[in-house]
Structure 1
Amino acid sequence: MPTNDYTDEQRVEIAKQQYLPYSESDPVKIGKNKEKIGYVSQVNNKPTGEQSFVITDKYVPPTASLSERNQVQEITVLYKGSTAPSVSNVLNPFDKEYDDVRKDWLDNDVPTAIQIINGGAPVVTPQLQSSANTLKEAMRLYPNAQVYVYGHSLGSMNAQYAVANVNKKDIGRINGGFFYQGPNIYSNLTPKQQDTVKALNSLDVLFNYVDAKDLVPIGYGVGKSTVGHLIRVDSKKVGAVDQHMWGGYQFDKDGNILTDKEGSLQLAKYATNQQLSAINNLRKGFMKSGGGLSSAEEIFLDAAEGLAITQGMKQTLQGEIRDLKAMFDTAIENAKELWQNTLSDARGIGSKLTEAEILTALSNGGATEAKIVVETVQECEKSLAEATKIEQEYDQLLQQINEAIKSQVETDQQLAKQLGSMYG
């Protein structure tokens, strides 16, 4: 389905592009299949230290005519994170990265971290301000485009601040914001900026990913507001640098990030809405030919909508299953601990009894390992098996819908031709 409809894993791949040395007009491709997401139409390397790319669905630079720029339907703004410090680029003024490191760390990272630790500040760093100008200018240059914003680390702070400064009339154009492993800058925002964030958060289009095993994303916690829905990443432990660079992120076979139930729900809702929006645009494209929808088009669109909704339900269920598994693991550990404590107490009380006599006494009182531990394990495994069976049924349904869509396109050449002309 054509649109900015990517998996969580693909979005991380998109975010990683911020660290690559792209030049203007370069195509931007992700994944093993080198899927093209657009072209670099602008490269920013500002005196504030801000480094960012503006990617458009077709190559249309800022110098193009207004009529050309009006044709751009999607733009993606990528904000680069901090340049990694080294002995050379910190101590050697002749190193090509010397200025980048000083601007990133001394002028932005450290001052902002201090502000966040101390509850915020009324004045932010120049790099955050220039990043906000970058987004506003991109939205002005491409007035008909839907907007996606990505950032990692310092780039996450830049991206968070940029969307907080979007004009109220343009909020509806922000179609997705994805912020990775950066500090929480909400406390640094003015009341007006916080109102803008609240409006965007209510649209469920911003997501702030945090791997708690990484030390960089500070300022998050229970009851603290964030720019975007907080997605708590269920990560594995890796080295400190790799932890910060997405190394601990885990994804399921469908490319969905492993997170808690609330995170899965929010991401599933967003993915479903993105797909349904794309289907609606497809419907409008079919209608342009006049005469209403053909039966083939109606079947195709109905199947596509069913696929989107079913995928969303499955993703939500997967979050529920992970939550259940964590709860069951805790219940089993508690049951094992209870049995060991019960056995220890009994041994202390019946110190003159043999082990067999102690177990018999406990059994007579209704306390056995089978009852306390084994039954708990069996109940948990039964519930998990039932949930997993439902997930498998969703997989079967998704396969059936996909096959139906494929069959419809293969047997209707006119439909295939229309899809090819729209999104080929």
Structure 2
Amino acid sequence: MNNRNLTDQQRVTVAKLEYQLLEPNQVIILAGQPFGKVLQHIYTADGLQMFVIENRPQKEYTLLFKGSSGIMKGNPETWTNEWLDTNLPIGWSMLFQRGEIPQQLRTATRVLNRVLCQHPNAHFYLYGHSLGSINVQYALSHCHHIGQIRRADIYEGPNIYWLLNASERKQVRKFKHKVYNYVDVYDPIVVGYVDGRRLVGRLKYVDSHLLPPINQHMWGGYMFTSRGKLKTRSIDKLFLKRGAMDQYWMKNGHELYQERLNLRQLQQLKKIHHRSQLAFAKD
């Protein structure tokens, strides 16, 4: 079993492995066949977690970028690294269009490039859900070995295209055809998708149905055919309505931030002017 022959449903099954505590040397079985062996569980100080699965006969590696542990299942360390230091700053930056990138995303870039360098003749397949999707999106915008990456499947993450600079956007456009970005508009975490162009990868608009938020976020609305093909739809009024709402909040958030910034600058100028007057009066 290898990544090239997987159905959409099997790819979701692979992506879900990122939430399991995979151990090095653990053999992964998929559809009753060996899929690979866990080579590494990379866990950095800033909370990035990535599993490397090796399929030596196929000369391919599967990289699973782990999503958030969740509020209930997490611990003080994951709450800090995944939520306070990464997820919430990303949401804040998207709302106010500040372009600030948390440290964990930069670490994802270094780790991805390092792993690619360690296996120069291999092919790589990337998976990421939620926070994992965020890390994959940013890491790809700074990837130095795109030729080694055959495919990336990212699920239910916010669209950080809006936080990328011009150079980073140009980079991700080079390999748009290799990245499949799955979006369920009923998922409250999925924000910033306004069309099929301004995003990392190709848009895969999921034909979903409304569920409770957590279930929705964890692939709950995904539906597959008998052959494992994901049911998707073309951009419609529902998608455009959600996109327009996201644009409204980002636009107003940016203007609010600018107003607050301008007010702060004005107050600072008044203080400087007042100090200069006092100094002049003393002279």
TM-score bracket relative to the smaller structure? 0.7 to 0.9
Q: Which has the higher strand share?
A: 2
Match of 1:47 in 2: 45
The answer to whether 1:75 aligns with 2:61 is: yes
Match of 1:136 in 2: 113
How far 1:36 sits from its partner (Å)? 2.4
Amino acid at match of 1:178: D
CA distance in 2, matches of 1:114, 1:197: 23
Equivalent pair of 1:72/1:144 in contact (CA under 8 Å):
no
Match of 2:271 in 1: none
Q: Greater RCO between the two (CA within 8 Å, min separation 6)?
A: 2
Match of 2:32 in 1: 34
Equivalent pair of 1:177/1:207 in contact (CA under 8 Å):
yes
Equivalent pair of 1:117/1:219 in contact (CA under 8 Å):
no
Residues 267-312 of structure 1, C-alpha deviations (whole Å, 9 max, x = no match) = xxxxxxxxxxxxxxxxxxxxxxxxxxxxxxxxxxxxxxxxxxxxxx
Match of 1:118 among 83, 96, 101: 96
Tell me: CA distance 1:118–1:99, structure 2 relative to 1, closer, same or farther (3 Å): same
Aligned length: 236
CA distance in 2, matches of 1:186, 1:2: 30
How far 1:72 sits from its partner (Å)? 7.0
Match of 2:206 among 225, 233, 236: 233
The runs of at least 4 aligned residues of structure 1 exceeding 6 Å deviation read: none
Q: Any stretches of 5+ residues in structure 1 without a counterpart?
A: 59-70, 90-96, 263-322, 324-424
Match of 1:179 in 2: 154
CA distance in 1, matches of 2:98, 2:151: 25
CA distance in 2, matches of 1:6, 1:142: 23
Match of 1:349 in 2: none
- Report the secondary structure of 1:246's partner residue: helix
Residues 142-174 of structure 1, C-alpha deviations (whole Å, 9 max, x = no match) = 10011111100011101111111111xx22221
Tell me: CA distance 1:142–1:233, structure 2 relative to 1, closer, same or farther (3 Å): same
Match of 2:81 in 1: 103
Query: TM-score, with normalisation over the residues of structure 2?
Result: 0.78
Tell me: CA distance 1:242–1:35, structure 2 relative to 1, closer, same or farther (3 Å): farther
CA distance in 2, matches of 1:130, 1:7: 31
Equivalent pair of 1:213/1:243 in contact (CA under 8 Å):
yes
Amino acid at match of 2:11: R
- Report the secondary structure of 2:147's partner residue: helix
Query: TM-score, with normalisation over the residues of structure 1?
Result: 0.53
**What is the CA RMSD across the aligned residues, in angstroms?**
2.0
CA distance in 1, matches of 2:101, 2:58: 32
Tell me: CA distance 1:223–1:25, structure 2 relative to 1, closer, same or farther (3 Å): closer
Q: Which has the higher helix share?
A: 1
Equivalent pair of 2:196/2:203 in contact (CA under 8 Å):
no
Q: Percent identity?
A: 34
CA distance in 2, matches of 1:48, 1:195: 28
Match of 1:196 in 2: 171
